[in-house]
Structure 1
Amino acid sequence: MKLWKMNGAGNAFAIFDARSTPFSPSVEQIRQIAADLKADQIIALERDATKDVFMRIWNADGGQVSACGNASRCVGHLILGETGKDRITIQTEADMLKAFRAEGSLITVDMGSPLMGWADIPLAEKMDVRGVDLKIGPIDKPILALPAVVSMGNPHAVFFVEDVNAYDIPKIGPLVENHPLFPQGTNVGFAQVIDKQTIRLRVWERGAGLTKACGTGACAALVCAARAKLTGRKARVIMDGGDLHIEWRESDDHVYLTGPVELEFETDV
């Protein structure tokens, strides 16, 4: 079985080719692979009857999840090169995605439409998703409050802050990730809007922790910022591992995620 170690803007993946050889790791095995290879997510490529490939995703903690934007771009890079096609289709548990090449050796993935209904995210109770009733810190003077929430195939809570470096994200992240308001847990974004076309973002990723980049997190931050009129519908998102470019098109309501990919090594296992 072939193994690729890749990253998208620093977001690291171990990708196993399970199209011919079954790959059914236990939770403990996923955790060990993630630790050994320093991977945020473990990916299995599987055959799909109608799409170019099926992508199965596990977080570093061993939990299986439905979406990962940067992994989709890495897989897109592999399958585009393998097939020679201009565009390829990737099936995930969440949706069918399309990947294609962009300028400057970048890869774009059409992430589909954001889900903004409270039950779609999901939340434990009905709330205004533009700012849910969640506070961190003293009730009368919280340090963070009213995050916007959205699903990009996985749940995201986005706090808009003046300085992303002013918060202890490894301490705050787990509190929000595991808050009762989110029955499936949530990814937690800390977004600093620099101007109408630029967002500085750090993400505590559900099941993986503080990551160098998060593709769905960048998409979520742009969608929430645009809904709040803090940005336009297109922005550069600056993350610890590099820049991602997000566009939420009015024409089809889809979110397009563009950024770099890097193949660190490949081997047979």
Structure 2
Amino acid sequence: MVLHFQKMHAHGDDFVIVDRRGETGPLASELVRRLGDRNRGIGFNQLAVMLDCDDAAARLVFWNPDGTALDACGSATRGVADMLMNEAGISSIVLRTNRGLLTCRRGAGRAVSVDMGKPLLDWRDIPLARELDTNMLPLAGGPTACSMGNPHCTFFVDDLAAIDVAAVGPAIEADPLFPRRTNVHFVQVIDRGHIRLRIWERGGGIPLGSGSCSCGAVVGGIRRGLLDHAVEVECDGGTVEVHWDGIGGVVLTGAVEPVYSGTVAAHMLD
């Protein structure tokens, strides 16, 4: 097997895309772990595998660098859309993920938007371990929770610089309240259209940014009445725009940047 890949990033949220259309099956989790090693592999926050699909341009399967699967990745979805729209010379495209059919559109410059679908707000869908008010969890700091295909737990804080994300994040990720673990967000509201966000990512650590986490954080802020429907999300690696009307799908918009492409050495595939 020869494995070609494309490395990209979106506001510092780096990901790898592997095109397996015309091939059989996704990648094995052990291979994903090897590729995700930043010292001995390629390194990424997420890996997206493109597969054949009857009702969309491609079906996407996502992986964390620890070899665990996930259902949503806003950055990599936009990266695949950017590649395929460039190939076809079109300005919109539909991709299938475990979240369903997602519509992506070309914006100004390198911007690409994706409708990530409606947030899941019921405790069973996130999921939580028991029935709770998902807008006010019984954890210190009173976070909100939702799912964008992956679970998200959002804390609103007065001073983001005072939060030790590396210390607090892992404990919340593994809290028994989250049977499938969770992404953890720490949000400082600058104004009703602007937040500052830092993230502990489930299965990945601290990224410079995350598309689905940006969506989850904004959903939490809108549910709390802290934010308007269009929000600039400032992450460590840059900014994205998130729009949610409180009813329909959450639209994520931001630039995606190709970095390099290559071929994985044969011995890595053994």
Q: TM-score range by the shorter chain?
A: over 0.9
SS of the residue aligned with 2:109? helix
Return the alpha-carbon distance in structure 2 between the equivalents of residues 86 and 261 of structure 1.
15
Given that residues 195 and 231 in structure 2 are in contact (C-alpha distance below 8 angstroms), is that contact kept between their aligned partners in structure 1?
A: yes
Return the alpha-carbon distance in structure 2 between the equivalents of residues 93 and 184 of structure 1.
16
Residue of structure 2 in register with 1:264 after alignment: 259
Any stretches of 5+ residues in structure 2 without a counterpart? Answer: 265-270
Residue of structure 2 in register with 1:50 after alignment: 55
Residue of structure 1 in register with 2:28 after alignment: 26
SS of the residue aligned with 2:130? coil
Confirm whether residue 121 of structure 1 aligns to residue 116 of structure 2.
no
Q: Which runs of 4+ in 1 moved over 6 A?
A: none
In structure 2, give the amino acid aligned to 1:39: F
In the TM superposition, what whole-angstrom CA distance separates every residue of 1:156-199 from its partner, at most 9, and x where no partner exists?
A: 00000112221111111111111110111110000000001100
RMSD: 1.3
Given that residues 121 and 150 in structure 1 are in contact (C-alpha distance below 8 angstroms), is that contact kept between their aligned partners in structure 2?
A: yes
Equivalent pairs, count: 259
In structure 2, give the amino acid aligned to 1:4: Q
Q: How does 1:57-96 map to 2 (within 5 A)?
A: 57-96=62-101
SS of the residue aligned with 1:103? coil
In structure 2, give the amino acid aligned to 1:160: F
Confirm whether residue 189 of structure 1 aligns to residue 185 of structure 2.
yes
TM-score, normalised to structure 1's length? 0.93
In the TM superposition, what whole-angstrom CA distance separates every residue of 1:83-121 from its partner, at most 9, and x where no partner exists?
A: 222211111122221111112320100111111111111
SS of the residue aligned with 2:30? helix
Return the alpha-carbon distance in structure 2 between the equivalents of residues 42 and 7 of structure 1.
11
Return the alpha-carbon distance in structure 2 between the equivalents of residues 230 and 196 of structure 1.
6
Return the alpha-carbon distance in structure 1 between the equivalents of residues 70 and 152 of structure 2.
13
Report the alpha carbon displacement of residue 24 of structure 1 after superposing the two structures with TM. 4.0
Report the alpha carbon displacement of residue 23 of structure 1 after superposing the two structures with TM. 5.6
TM-score, normalised to structure 2's length? 0.92
Residue of structure 1 in register with 2:165 after alignment: 169
Report the alpha carbon displacement of residue 30 of structure 1 after superposing the two structures with TM. 1.1
Match of 1:235 among 204, 223, 231: 231
Given that residues 223 and 233 in structure 1 are in contact (C-alpha distance below 8 angstroms), is that contact kept between their aligned partners in structure 2?
A: no
In structure 1, give the amino acid aligned to 2:217: A
Report the alpha carbon displacement of residue 79 of structure 1 after superposing the two structures with TM. 1.1
SS of the residue aligned with 2:178? coil
Return the alpha-carbon distance in structure 2 between the equivalents of residues 245 and 52 of structure 1.
25
Match of 2:9 among 7, 10, 24: 7
Return the alpha-carbon distance in structure 2 between the equivalents of residues 42 and 5 of structure 1.
9
Confirm whether residue 131 of structure 1 aligns to residue 131 of structure 2.
no
Given that residues 26 and 61 in structure 2 are in contact (C-alpha distance below 8 angstroms), is that contact kept between their aligned partners in structure 1?
A: no
In structure 1, give the amino acid aligned to 2:4: K
Return the alpha-carbon distance in structure 2 between the equivalents of residues 40 and 71 of structure 1.
10
Report the alpha carbon displacement of residue 267 of structure 1 after superposing the two structures with TM. 2.3
SS of the residue aligned with 1:210? coil
The alpha-carbon distance between structure 1 residues 103 and 172, as it changes in their structure 2 partners (threshold 3 A), is same
